[in-house]
Amino acid sequence: MLAVVVIAAFSIRALTVPSQPPEPIAAPQSEISAQATAASPTQATVVAPAAVVASPTALAPPAPTALDATTSVVWVGNTDGQGAYLHTAPALSGELGAYRDGTELRVIGPDVDAEGVHWRHVAASDGANGYISADYVVNTGPT
């Protein structure tokens, strides 16, 4: 959802008002129409608002996807022996620690898509809770 903030800036000009009304002048009719369209220092200036600027607000957090009810336990895998990091939030920062292939993780919440990654919300046996990229979990344990 995008909220729009409207910011308007106004320009104010000084208006000079004579202390005495101007004296009537007798002029030919052709000059009267020309004088009516010419600007004089005593005419008021209409001030229009400056450009309107729209500013988007912060994006809403990503919506969680449905929890896979058939798999409440997953294992770290697909890392070619490198292991995978558990993160404090579904983001590439905030690493809690690395876990080796074959480490059992319990699914404790819904999956989340954020920062171009599909994250699983899990708990490790050492008590750490966080998010791990779904690319590095498998549904079958080591054999």
Nearest to 107 by CA among 66, 55, 142, 143: 66
Residue 84: per-residue pLDDT: 97
- Tens place of pLDDT for every residue, the chain, 143 residues? 434 333 433 434 444 455 565 555 555 555 444 444 444 455 555 555 555 555 455 555 555 444 444 559 999 999 999 999 999 999 999 999 999 999 999 999 999 999 999 999 999 999 999 999 999 999 998 87
Q: Which domains does the chain have, with CATH numbers?
A: 73-138 (2.30.30.40)
The predicted model scores a pTM of 0.52
| Exposure string over 62-96, b if 16+ CB within 10 A, otherwise e | eeeeeeeeeeeebbbbebeeeebbbbeebeeeeeb
Backbone φ and ψ for 111, nearest 5 degrees, come out as -70, 155
Burial-class residue 109 by CB neighbours within 10 Å (0-12, 13-18, 19+). Answer: middle
